[in-house]
Structures are given as structure tokens and as C-alpha cells.
Structure 1
Amino acid sequence: MAVMKVKFNQKKRVKLAQGLWLMNWFSVFAGIVVFAMGLFLKVELRKRSELMDNAESHFVPNSLILVGLLSCAFNGVAGKICYDSLDPSKFAKWKPLLKLYLLVCFFFNICIFLVALFCFLMRGSLDTTLGNGLKNGMKYYRDTDTPGRCFMKKTIDLLQIEFKCCGNNGFRDWFEIQWISNRYLDFSSKEVKDRIKSNVDGRYLVDGVPFSCCNPSSPRPCIQYQVSNNSAHYSYDYQTEELNLWNRGCREALLKYYSSMMSSMGVVVLLVWILEVSVMIGLRLLHTSLESISNPEDPECESEGWVLEKSFKETFKSTLENLKKIGKFNQVEAGAEGADGEEGTKTQAVTTVS
């Protein structure tokens, strides 16, 4: 039994073709939107590429750009097919290609669905990428005189100010690295010497943070040095001074920003996928309804359209049988080639003995 079998007359076929033409051009616009989203996400990731550990994060925007371009191309062709279906002479050139085109559209819709899933599932990979990238970037914060790294201080400062965050997981991350350049340290000072000697790696570590970690909403001037020393400041308790520094880590802030962005894009891609599936089903109905016209000379006669000629179970079985036949055919060909090779070897041996 055919799946989604529908009866058509001339008026219904024309309405279906016109509706599909309109839907295809709407899908072209949707493809442009998906392309623009991918481009926007790629630019946003490029802005902070120095703080990311690898290029895997660009998989989603690259996929969105590719899907957007292919959607514009496929739906543009489909719109032309629907327009030409109103004229039998023009539609004749599309008939041999329609089955192949619908098969390509089927696999393309699977790709769109997978891209939508990736938009929701890339959070874990992005979390690791941001964590490692921020950790490495913070180590280069002090290298303002090193070519290739002199921009890192500005990048991290702007990041912490824009996203209201501090450090990788929190402001205490700055206590574990030397973020002050040796250029600005007085090595003749006993305090500096003692701090460097007290560290195994010979680094100048302080319980302080860069100025960009300061919260401007704090009612008192920002305390960015000796943050954990209560006695160094009047009426101060670093555990209760929540407004002094940003408490949220930059990894959490960036992860939330990019995850919400990709989740929104995933919803849009799912809507585009539903639209593409609807267009594919409509095109299949139009294709079968035009092929099943009993009298081509009478365009007003009734016809039947369907999505699948047989049921899902029968279609699945016939597909498996076709695949098995292809496999057996390849085995027979390989066996025939082997037999020909053996016969040639025997003939050569007999000739040699003679």
C-alpha cells in the first residue's frame, strides 16, 4: 500500500506546483539566514581564537555556512522544477533527473538534521577548548614585549571587562601564575627577591589580579592586590566582599554566551529542516502525480500521487534485497576475473611445457 496517497486533478496539481514554488523561494531565504548565522558565529569565534585551544570549535559555523549555500542551490533548482512543471514541454527535461534529485535531497535533509544536533551537542567540546585556551592565554598575559604575544594582555583585559568575569574558573587563577612582567619588577627589592626564591619555578606570584577583574559596582575602591589578606585593608573581608571582583570565571561566561547562541541557531536550523522535508515531500507528490497521468494528451485528467509506492516495511525489504543483489553481482564479477586468471595461467603453463 502506497504511503500518503493523494488524488489530484489539474487544479490541485497547479496549486501544489505554485505552493511549492513559493515554499522553495522561502527556503532560499532561509538558507541565506543559515549562511549568515554561520558567518556571524565564525566571526565571533575568530575574535577570541587566541583563547581557544584548537580549531574544532569552527566545525559548527563551517557546517552552517555549507548548509546555507547548499540550501540556496537546491531550493533554487527545485523552484525552477516546480515552475516548469506547469508546462509539459519544459518539464520533460526534468523527468529523468527527478528521482536522483529527490535522493540527493533526502541525504541533504539528513545532513541538516545532524548539523542542528551538533549545534546542541558541541557544549562539551567547547568547554574543554575554552578551558585550555584561557589557561594558556593567561600565561602569556605578561609577555607585552614578546612579538606574537604582545596583544594577549589587551585581549584578556577586554574579555574580562566585556563579560564581567575574572580568570579561567575564578579570580584565584591569577594567584597561580606570574602575570606581572619582569620589566616592571625591581629585582634589587628584598620583597621581590624573597617572593621569587620562595617559588620552586622562580616566578613572582602575588595574591593579586589585573585591574580588569575589578567590579565597578563595588562601593569601595577596588582592592586588586593582597586580595586574600584581610589585615592589609581596613574593614575588609575578602570572603564577603562579593562586589570587589568579578566572581564568575571567563570560561563559564564564554561557554554560556556561545552555547546560548548555538542553541538558538540549532532551533532555527531545525525549523529549516522541517521546511526542507515538507518541500521534499511536496515535490515527490508532484512528481508522482505528473507521472501517473493516464492520458498525457488530456492534462485535465485525474492522477494519483504518493510519497512511497509501497509501505515502509516493503520499501525497506526491497532496498535490502537490491543491496544484496549488488553485493552478489560484485562477488560474481570478482570470481569470474579469478577464473579467467587461472585459465590464462594454465594455458601459459601448457605452452611452456610444449
Structure 2
Amino acid sequence: MVLLKINFPQQRRVHLAQGLWLLSWTAVIWGAIIFCLGVYIKTELLRRDEVMDNTEIHVVPNILMIVGLASIGTNWVASRVCQDSLDPTRFPRWKVLLLVWFAVAAVLCCLLISVVVLSFALQGSLEESLKVGLKNGIRFYKDTDVPGRCFQKETIDRLQMEFRCCGNNNFKDWFEVQWVSSRYLNFTSKDVKDRIRSNVDGRYLLDGVPFSCCNPASPRPCLRYHLTDNNAHFNYEYHSEELNLYSRGCRQALTDYYMELMNSTGPGVLSVILIQMSVLLGLRYLQTAVEGSMALEDPEGESEGFLLEKSVKETIEDLKVKALTLLKFGQVDPNDTEGSTEDAELEKAEKDASPTPAS
């Protein structure tokens, strides 16, 4: 039973080929856009690779770039097929290649759907990666003289100013680490000695933050030290000074930024999926309709186009049989003694036929 059969006169076949040609080039343009989006997201992730603990989130831009390039290539081929479908002498050469094209287009649609799913599924992984990465970045903030960490301070400062955030979860994260390099501490000072001695690990801890945490929207000059001491500053209340520093943590700020960036690709990816599915189904109709017209005595007469020669169930059964046949091909059955018997008889015949040496 033929699935979704449609009659195609000559004029309808021409209109279908022309429409698919335009749709294919639209998909080529969208493929280029998807590729550029993947490159942009990849670049943004690499820019802040120092504050990320793993690279699992890179799978999203990687798939976007692969899908973008694949979409450009497959839909360019589809446009060529649409052009040659109007020429009976050139269209038959696409018959074998179209089978590969349909498989690639189907995989392409699956990859596009996986991008949409992964954009939401990897949010937890992104948050955990930023949590560990920012924690290490804050811990190594002071190591400006250590190879490999020289630019960690600059990275964190630029990050906090650009995203208007402070610390990992909030500005209190700076209270738990020594973010002032020992190179700039006066160890003869009583205050420095007392702070180091009061800490079990011998670290110089402050209830203060770097300058990059200061909020320019604050009506008063930024207060960075003695933040928990209400008596250290005039007209100061620790719990009510919300504008003095950025209140949002950088982990939340970066997570929101990257999730918004990846989710913004959703409409574009969904558009490409719809266009790709339309090209896939339309090209199948065009292929069967043109092949049907070429089989007729009158090539310009009416032909039938369809999606499958059999029903979905019968098609699946045929595919199962073909797959099992391919899996069994070349395998040796250990219970089959016929082949071993034939080999033994052949070997014996060869020995009998060989000349015996003279005594």
C-alpha cells in the first residue's frame, strides 16, 4: 500500500521543483546563520574558559556549527536536484545519491532537535562548571606572579565589571579567601600579623572585596573594607547598603547570560527544522513523481508521487529484514559442519592427486 499518494501533472511537478529550489536556498541561508551562531557561542565560551571547570557545554555550539555546515551542503545538493528534475537526461544520475541525501537530511533534523533539547538539559552542568571555575578563579586571584595564573586577576575583575556581579554566589565569597597577594602585605604590621594568626590556615582574610565589585549606581563613594563593621563608616548600615556593591553573584549572572544566548537560537533552529523537513518531504515527492513520469510513454503526462512504496509497518519490517541480513553476512555458524566437511574432502583430493616421489 503506497503511503500518501498524490497525482502530479507536468505543471505541478514544475511548480514543486521551483518551490523546492527556493526553499533549499532559504535553508542554505539559515544554515549559514546557524553556523555563525555556533561560532559566536563557542567564542563567548572560550573567552571565559578560565572560570569554567569542564567543557560539556561546548557540545551545543559544536553541534550548531556541524549542523550549519551540513545544512549548507545538503540543501545546496537539493537545489541542484530540483534544477535537474526538469531535465530527463540529467535527473537519473541523482538516483543513488538521493538515498544518501535522505539519510543525511534525516540525521540533520535529529541533530537540530538534539540542540534544542541540550540547550535546556545542560543548564545544570553549566551552573556546576561555573560554580567550580569561579571558586578557583577567586582563590587564584592573588597569584599574579604564578605562571599560568598571571591573568586570573584581570579576568575576574573584567568579568565582575562587565556582568555587574561580585563573587561566586555573592560578595561574601571574598571574605573566605585571601585575595591580596603576600607580595603587597607588610608583615611587620600588627594588623597583618593579628589577621594571619587569627586564621587556622595562616591566611590574610578581610571583610572586604576588590574594586571591581563596586556598584557605580551607589550614591556614596564605594566602601570596600570593613564591610561588616557598622562603626567603621559614618552613616553606614551593613544590611541596608544594597547599592554599595553588586548584590548578584557571577555564577548566576553568567548562567543567565549563556542560557539566554543558547535559548535565543531556539527559534532559528526550529525554523531550520521546519524548512529541512519540508525540503525532505518535498524532494521525496519530486523524486517519485519525476521517476514515475519517466516510466510513462508520455513524459509530460500525469504521474504519481508518494512518500513510501509500502505502509509504515511494512517498510519497518523490510528494514529489519535487511538489517538482519547485513548482520548475518560473513558470520560462521559453529554448528554448521557442512563447510568443514567440504574443506576436508578438498584437502584429501589434493593429496591424492599429488605425485608420489620415486624410491
| One-letter identity of the residue aligned with 1:48 | R
Aligned-residue identity in percent: 51
Unaligned 5+ residue runs, structure 2? 352-359
> 1:200 is matched by which residue type in structure 2?
V
Whether 1:340 aligns to 2:342 is no
What's 1:66 paired with? 66
Mapping for residues 134-149 of structure 1, pairs under 5 Å: 134-149=134-149
The answer to whether the aligner puts 1:201 opposite 2:194 as a matched pair is no
CA shift, 1:198, in A, is 1.3
Alignment-derived partner of residue 16 in structure 1:
16
1:239 alignment partner AA: H
Letter in 1 for 2:19: G
The answer for the alignment partner of 1:227 in structure 2 is: 227
What SS does the corresponding residue of 1:304 show, helix, strand or coil?
Answer: strand
Q: Given the alignment of the two structures, is residue 179 of structure 1 paired with residue 179 of structure 2, yes or no?
A: yes
Is the CA contact 1:117–1:266 (under 8 Å) kept in the aligned structure 2?
no
Q: Which residue type is aligned with residue 188 of structure 2?
A: S
AA aligned to 1:36 is C
Q: Which moved more, 1:175-184 or 1:141-150?
A: 141-150
Contact 1:209 1:225 in 2 (8 A): yes
Map 1:136-175 onto structure 2 (within 5 A): 136-175=136-175
Cα distance, 1:269–1:334 mapped onto 2, change above 3 Å: farther
Larger CA deviation: 265-274 vs 83-92: 265-274
TM-score by structure 1 length?
A: 0.92
Q: Deviations over 1:152-188 (max 9, x none)?
A: 1111111111111000000000000000011111100
For 2:31, the equivalent position in structure 1 comes to 31
Decide whether the 8 Å contact of 1:6 with 1:306 is kept in 2: yes
Matches of 1:79 and 1:36 in 2, distance apart? 22
1:49 is the counterpart of 2:15: no
Which residue number corresponds to residue 320 of structure 1?
Answer: 320
Q: Which whole-Å CA distance do the structure 2 matches of 1:10 and 1:97 have between them?
A: 24
- Letter of the structure 1 residue corresponding to residue 224 of structure 2: Q
**Mapped partners of 1:182, 1:342: distance in 2:** 85
Question: Aligned equivalents of 1:27 and 1:299: distance in 2?
Answer: 30
Q: Does 1:246 align with 2:222?
A: no
Distance 1:128 1:345, change over 3 A: farther
How far has the Cα of 1:137 moved from its partner?
Answer: 0.8
Map of 1:119 onto structure 2: 119
Equivalent position of 1:4 in the other structure: 4
State the one-letter code of the partner of 2:339.
D
Matched-pair contact (CA < 8 Å) for 2:88–2:294: no
TM-score norm. by structure 2 comes to: 0.91
Structure 1 equivalent of residue 356 of structure 2 = none
Q: Distance in 1 between matches of 2:334 and 2:292?
A: 42
Instruction: Judge which range, 296-305 or 21-30, deviates more.
Output: 296-305
Tell me: CA distance 1:316–1:235, structure 2 relative to 1, closer, same or farther (3 Å): same
Instruction: Assess if the C-alpha contact under 8 Å between 1:52 and 1:130 holds in 2.
Output: yes
**Any stretches of 5+ residues in structure 1 without a counterpart?**
none
Match of 1:269? 269
Q: Please name the residue that 2:357 is paired with.
A: none
SS at match of 1:70: helix
Residue 150 of structure 1 deviates from its aligned partner by 1.6
Give the corresponding residue for 1:87.
87
Deviations 1:286-321 (A, max 9, x none): 011112227545222111111122222332233233
CA RMSD, Structure 1 to Structure 2 (Å):
2.2
C-alpha separation in 1, matches of 2:48 and 2:327: 50
Number of residue pairs matched by the alignment: 350
